[in-house]
Amino acid sequence: MAEKLFAEFPPVSTEQWEQVIIKDLKGADYEKKLVWRTQEGFSVRPYYRAENLKDVKHLGGVPGTFPYVRGTKDNNDWLIRQDYCAHDGDYARANAEAVDGLKKGVTSVGFCIDGEKAVSQEQMKTLLKGIDLGKTEVNFTGCCCASVDIVKAFLAVAEAEGVKPGELRASFDYDPLRVLNQKGAFCSDKSMERLKEVVEAVKEYPHVRVIGVEAYAFNDAGATIVQELAFGLAMGSEYLSKLTDAGVSADEAAKRIKFTFAVGSTYFMEIAKFRAARMLWANVVAAYGAQKECSKKIKVHAVTSEWNQTVYDAYVNMLRGTTEAMSATIAGVDSLEVLPFDYAFRAPGEFSNRIARNAQIILKEESHFDKVVDPSAGSYYVENLTESIADAAWALFGKVEGMGGYIEAFKASFVQNAIKESSSKRDKNIATRRETILGTNQYPNFTEKADKDITLEVVTRKPAPEVTGEMIGAPLEKYRGAQAFEAMRFKTDKSGRQPVAFMVTYGNLAMCRARAQFACNFFAVAGFKVVDNNRFSSVEEGVKAALDAKADIIVACSSDDEYAEGAAMMADLVGDKAIVVVAGEPACKEELIAKGVVNFISVKSNVLETLKDYQTKLGIK
């Protein structure tokens, strides 16, 4: 007779769990302490149980069946993609890099091209030399006005090599709305009208996608997961509308569209995003009248988030890329590109490309992520996240559709304003360290100096250009979340001096050490040299050591009780020889201010603005 696991333990009801939790909170607000209010606009509970699945509507499906929450295929294999720059027209170099990548684990190559220029058949032949088009997926990004000619050149090379139409797997990201997002205007007046022409160019090739929905552009602008998904769906819907109005069947139109999403650092939310995307797109395509099941299956390429990358402590990007890759592959994407760790500040080389490839190869060959389809299925947490993201994205998508579609929503600045509101909140969270960017606004590498390839242009956030007569709306502002802090630290690095922040630790050992560690992290973020100390026997001893070290900033690190007398004494001893700062927000703060101690740092500080202010005081411009 089979025994049930844990049968000897009595069941515990939700009410019983809640009673224990409330007791442990000791009067603290349950909602504020334990319920996470996400940037996406919905709340996440501290725990979930089986009963929380009873209202989740998408449960019960299996991989490969509508609405495809659990995947569009019966396996979890994905293509390892790496993109190579051919934008400068050096097709031989790009080809050599791609062929080398294919020998080292890449299974899908991408070429970044100048889509405003035609590519001849001879040039395309050079670009594709040594690539087996019958076995390797080839992708082209940057496609624009010359897309039809580029597609035809590619097909001509494939035909000349004897590749059968059914064997050819490729994609072209003809995406007029991407250009609109980037520039505030279409690349030509005929951009949307040419959608049908691009689709008809590949009518004999069932596995070639020619319309790209570059939803990652919203992530690049600081959008939330819900906004990236909703606005991406709206772009796809706009293309379906234009194509079906032009006489292309919904089935044919949908089969020619490929989505590219970014994958960010909110691990479980990203898993849920891709699951929700499959479900929502299947319903959108069905609403346009598509009959074939294959047409309703979204084709998804994922790329690790450029918005998350940093130029200081750049090796941390390897870790970011790995966890992001895990989210995407667990979620069941069709292909994935892990950006090289130095992508944000220089052209990636052999080492960084190799690490980026190997992050995916490890997930396959050592972690076996390709062996199990939708491993997160049934998770109380992930299923609820999937439902919440789908509901929020569908509601936002409905608002865009109610305005007449994506173009009309863009003209009305609805898209831009929504993203700007979200990105501004994220910027504030980063400035106040409510959102951590490791190595940048928290836990920096104290001794690091800017890499030789890091320039002012790399760290400077550039605002979106003003709307001109040719533009139908303001373009999205592309930036990285770390740039404001990077620009501040870069200013210190290039100033020719490195201010010294000296920790005067005294009194209560536990408090002085904790506050010294906090203050060291705080000032090192701006590239200041920090000098930590175990504990001085007196304030006088600490101040003497600080002045002997020619400190620019002297930080009082002790307990609140000892600040009332010690911090004021420190200010008197230092005078105008250095800036005195108190680590913490002591109860005696107002009393200290009255005595001339006016500088305080704490977890409540706006770290960015506070450090910029100290740079100004120290003459760093």
Write the pLDDT tens digit of every residue in 363-406: 999 999 999 999 999 999 999 999 999 999 999 999 999 999 99
Residues 35, 39, 42, 48, CA torsion sign:
negative
Contact 214, 260 (CB under 8 A): yes
Per-residue pLDDT at 522: 98
Closest CA relative to residue 109, chosen from 133, 142, 145: 133
What SS3 state is found at 54?
coil
Band (190; pLDDT cuts 50, 70, 90): confident
Average pLDDT, stretch 580-584?
98
Kindly tell me if the per-residue pLDDT of 352 is higher than 70.
yes
Q: What percent of the chain has pLDDT over 90?
A: 93
- Residue written as tokens 């906090």? 518
CA distance 390 to 310: 30
Q: Could you tell me where the DSSP H helices lie in 432-529? A: 456-459, 483-493, 509-524
Per-residue pLDDT at 136: 98
Kindly tell me if the per-residue pLDDT of 205 is higher than 80.
yes
Per-residue pLDDT at 364: 97
Kindly tell me if the per-residue pLDDT of 3 is higher than 70.
no
| pLDDT tens-digit series, residues 502-559 | 999 999 999 999 999 999 999 999 999 999 999 999 999 999 999 999 999 999 999 9
Per-residue pLDDT at 588: 96
Helix H or strand E encompassing 82: strand 79-85
Q: Name beta bridge partners: 303.
A: 262, 337
Contact 337, 360 (CB under 8 A): no
Band (187; pLDDT cuts 50, 70, 90): confident
- Secondary-structure breakdown of the chain: helix, strand, coil percentages, each rounded to the nearest 5: 45, 10, 45
Contact 436, 320 (CB under 8 A): no
Structure tokens at 54: 């009873």
**CB count in 10 Å sphere of residue 41:** 14
CA distance 249 to 412: 30
- Residue written as tokens 């606005």? 231
Q: What distance lies between CA 251 and its chain's CA centroid?
A: 32
Structure tokens at 377: 């299925």
Contact 251, 291 (CB under 8 A): yes
- Residue written as tokens 């993203």? 419
Kindly tell me if the per-residue pLDDT of 1 is higher than 60.
no
Distances (CA, A) of 15 to 9, 22, 23: 17, 10, 12
Band (2; pLDDT cuts 50, 70, 90): low
Contact 268, 385 (CB under 8 A): yes
CA distance 120 to 97: 20
CA distance 167 to 179: 31
Report residue 259: phi and psi, to 5°: -100, 140
Structure tokens at 559: 């307990």
Contact 62, 332 (CB under 8 A): no
> Average pLDDT over the chain, rounded to whole?
96
| pLDDT tens-digit series, residues 453-483 | 999 999 999 987 888 888 999 999 999 999 9
CA distance 520 to 531: 8
Closest CA relative to residue 107, chosen from 138, 129, 62, 148: 138
Contact 141, 335 (CB under 8 A): no
Per-residue pLDDT at 11: 87
The DSSP letter of residue 414 is: H
Give the predicted TM-score (pTM) of the model: 0.95
Average pLDDT, stretch 318-324?
98
